[in-house]
Structure 1
Amino acid sequence: MARTPTHLLSPADQVRRRGLRTMKGVALGALIFMAVLFAFSFAFQQEIPALAYVRAAAEGGMVGALADWFAVTALFRHPLGIPIPHTAIIPSRKDEIGQTLGEFVETEFLRGDVVRTKLEQTAISARLGEWLSEPAHAERVAAEASVMASSVVQALSDDEVRDVIEELAREHLIAPDWAPPVGAWLGRIIDAGGHHSAVDLVADTIAAWLEANKTAFTGLVSRRLPSWVPSVAHRFVDDTVYNEAVKLVAAVRADPQHPARIAIDGYLARLADNLQHDPATIGRFEDAKLAVFDSPRVRELAAEVWTTAKAGLLHSLADPDSGLRRRAAQALAEIGARLTTDAALQRRVDSWVTDAAVFLVDRYRHDIASIITDTVERWDPAETTEKIELMVGRDLQYIRLNGTIVGALAGLAIFSIAHALLG
């Protein structure tokens, strides 16, 4: 089996490989030591009878070492490359091991009662609140959420968003009749006297314009007089018209019950009523609305709305000092503070999280566990074998070393008992 080059392994796997090689050397050294001891004691046991006990111990140690070497090696590969049945268990049964592991996780860990018990013993909301109440943590969450939101906004198709805005505008803004609501709104304003301020503003504006534009009245009326009328009369007519206009505006401004104001009130009241009940007025108003909001204008408006909103949102999400980011971080910190002090809120949040987790586990536990099975199936057998050997191989070499020691003690004990009983 080809091994992964050392430079391609992670630092942790490189450490594991060095430890595995060291323990393999120790286990092999114990076997060689037992073989040398066996050869020495076998050669000189006739001269030194006590060496028979040493030979028995060495013989048992070699048997134990070889048996455990075979057992350990058979897990990962064929011993000595010989395809002995029931060897190279991990590479040959990789998929079955993955399936069994997935089933074990599904039946023993991804059970609703197990998840509920664990979550109920964990103060989820309190811990989350303590963590969020730290300003740095709240800002970090806000920053990560901003990155995610920016990605979502940038992934949206501008044309599709414009189409949605246009459709919503047509359905909810343009298609419904405006005249009755506008008439009702105007009627409420008139009943409350809210239009008086607008009339005052118009009167004040006209007064200011008259004061600054007296020359605009020169010839306004006099140019329509016969040519034989003297120029003095022309000026008199123009001045009279201007002065009367100034007096009228001043009177309207000074008298809340001026006939002009009453006439405006009556006109607005009739307009409000006609917008609600007169089909002709309603029709003209709706025709004017459709003329203003024709198809090209609606699409241009939708495009401008989305472009402006998108640019502003992306700028606010990207700027750590923007009002949106600051308010988001502040809101998260406030939520964290509440979670640490509000026991009722803690119970509700813990209950929501627990119920949601149990629901997801009960509904999708097979799909979750299948991740293990599918992942193991995609692994290369040789790579899988090497990864598992690096994880547990060092401990398995202790089995070989222990087998050598236990075999030696067993061989010595068997020989001693047999010699004591049989001579």
Structure 2
Amino acid sequence: MGDMSFTAADVAKQRSLRRMKGVATGLLVAVAVVYALATWAEHRGAGAWAGYVAAAAEAGMVGALADWFAVTALFRHPLGLPIPHTAIIPTKKDQLGQSLGDFVGDNFLAEDVVRGKLRSLGLSRRAGTWLTRPENTDRVTAELATAVRGSLTVLRDADVQAVIGEAITRQAGARDISPHLGDLLDRTVTAGAHHRLVDLVCARAHDWLILHRDSVLEAVEGGAPGWTPRFVDRRIGERVYRELLRFVTEMRDSPDHPARGALDRFLTDFAQQLKDDPDTRARVERLKTDLLGRPEVQDLIASAWSAVRAMILTAAEDEHSALRRRARAALLSLGHRLATDDRLGTKLDGWVTDAALHVVSGYRAEITSLISDTVASWDARTTSRKIELHIGRDLQFIRLNGTIIGSLAGLTIHAATQLFT
């Protein structure tokens, strides 16, 4: 059953209704007393005036009683008597709710009504004009930042990390990455974008050889047969070291070094194999699967969310962050376009209208049933009392008017009767 409890406002309305009922009833009692006195005076020979007063008071009583009956019959049985077609609201509550729902559906949710109203509002231009004011843009930006912070606070990191990890793993596992890697490598080599990396490797290799000469010599000597003399191993080691250093130095300093050309040809051939060779592609896919299955990779994917989350939270909390500045600038730009670009405004208004009409046409029955079902769930007696509290005070003026108009009508009728008899 719907919540029909009486509020403090209802209590105040109830006091006002009682006062108006007292005024209307008091006026009825007053005209009844006047009628009794005027009739008594007329019988005592007070004169013609007593008849006029008595006729006016009598008609006023009739009018007051008739209107009291009409007003009371809306909410209850007058004097508790089950007179037909009384207590209309409690008896017909459900039918009234259904009729109210149908009325709203036919007159407020009709497509032409909704379309005309939305068209007359000019929503896009209003929204654009509102957004062009800096204080409004600041407010929207702050509200968006609050919403972002709230959303990120509610979300559990473990759940988000699991979803992201699963999504990345599933998408990466479902796609053959070899052709994409081949295209990327082919474009990189063709554009010469890898030369800087080669320069860096050569420079680092040269520096490493300079710093680790002894390590190279020990490696060469350690790999020599045991029967060779030590001085021979030493001479061979020095020769190998010098050749290595010369080769790396020449490769570092000469962009046209043959080794660089050989590396370019190797990378070009490898890119072609990634795109066309089934064995190479199969090996890359197996490597991809192995990498995705490693715990370290899954931890790296999961940790990416923590970094992104912290970055977004920091940017959302800082009023001067680049994120909030860009959001504010985007909103200002959007507001300016909506306020000045009629074509964009017309298109946006059309989208809003179509969406509203879709909701109205598709869910009209559900919307109107909300009214009828809600009214049906209310208690009949309590519903009648609530409605009476809201309109009963105004209805008491009907009783007052009935008394006054009835008195004037009675006086007029009595005067006309006396005039033509």
Is TM more than 0.5 here? yes
* 2:249 paired residue number: 250
Q: 1:39 aligns with which of 25, 33, 36?
A: 36
| Partner Cα separation in structure 1 for residue 89 and residue 314 of structure 2 | 54
Deviation at 1:412, TM superposition (A): 1.8
Match of 2:66 in 1: 67
* Worse-superposed segment, 90-99 or 285-294: 285-294
Tell me which residue corresponds to 1:137: 136
Q: Which moves more between the two structures, 136-145 or 409-418?
A: 136-145
Q: How does 1:119-268 map to 2 (within 5 A)?
A: 119-145=118-144, 165=164, 168-223=167-222, 224=224, 229=229, 238-268=237-267
1:396 CA displacement: 0.8
Task: Give 1:323 deviation, angstroms.
Answer: 4.2
After superposition, the Cα gap between the structure-2 partners of 1:413 and 1:362, relative to the gap in structure 1 and judged at 3 Å, is same
> What is the aligned partner in structure 1 of residue 100 from structure 2?
101
Letter in 2 for 1:56: A
Q: In 2, Cα distance between the equivalents of 1:385 and 1:322? A: 58
* Contact map agreement 2:292 2:298 (CA 8 A) in 1: no
- Are the equivalent residues in 1 in contact too, given 2:111–2:357 (CA < 8 A)? yes
> CA 1:295–1:51 in 2, change beyond 3 Å: closer, same or farther?
farther
**AA of the residue aligned to 2:29:** I
Contact (CA 8 Å) 1:219, 1:234: kept in 2 or not? no
Residue 16 of structure 2 is aligned to residue 19 of structure 1? yes
Q: What is the TM-score with the length of structure 2 in the denominator?
A: 0.85
**d(CA) in 2 for partners of 1:296, 1:91:** 70
Partner of 2:176, secondary structure, is coil
Long gaps (5+) in structure 2: none
Q: Which residue of 2 aligns with 1:9?
A: 7
> Contact between 2:291 and 2:297, CA under 8 Å: does it hold in 1?
no
- Cα distance between partner residues in 2 of 1:403 and 1:246: 119
Gaps of 5+ in 1: none
For residues 283-294 of structure 1, the aligned pairs below 5 Å read: 283-294=282-293
Q: Root-mean-square deviation (CA), in Å? A: 3.3
User: Which whole-Å CA distance do the structure 1 matches of 2:136 and 2:59 have between them?
Assistant: 63
Matched, 1:276 2:275: yes
Q: How many residues align?
A: 415
Distance in 2 (CA, whole Å) between partners of 1:29 and 1:111 is 47
Instruction: Name the stretch that deviates more: 95-104 or 84-93.
Output: 84-93
Q: 1:80 to 1:296 in 2, by over 3 A?
A: farther
Q: Which moved more, 1:57-66 or 1:358-367?
A: 358-367
Equivalent-residue separation in structure 1 for 2:102 and 2:129 (angstroms) = 37
Matches of 1:270 and 1:91 in 2, distance apart?
90
CA distance in 2: counterparts of 1:187 and 1:378, whole angstroms: 72
- CA separation of 1:206/1:302 partners in 2, compared to 1, >3 Å: closer, same or farther? closer
Instruction: Give the partner amino acid of 2:46.
Output: I
**Aligned partner of 2:58: which letter?**
E
User: What's the offset of the Cα at 1:373?
Assistant: 1.2
Query: Distance in 1 between the 2:370 and 2:316 partners?
Result: 35
Structure 2 residue matching 1:189: 3-state secondary structure: helix
Measure, in 2, the Cα distance between the counterparts of 1:377 and 1:316.
51
SS at structure 1 position matched to 2:121: coil
Taking structure 1 as the reference length, the TM-score comes to 0.85
Give the superposition deviation at 1:99.
0.8
Taking only the aligned residue pairs, the percentage that are identical comes to 44
Q: Does 1:82 align with 2:46?
A: no
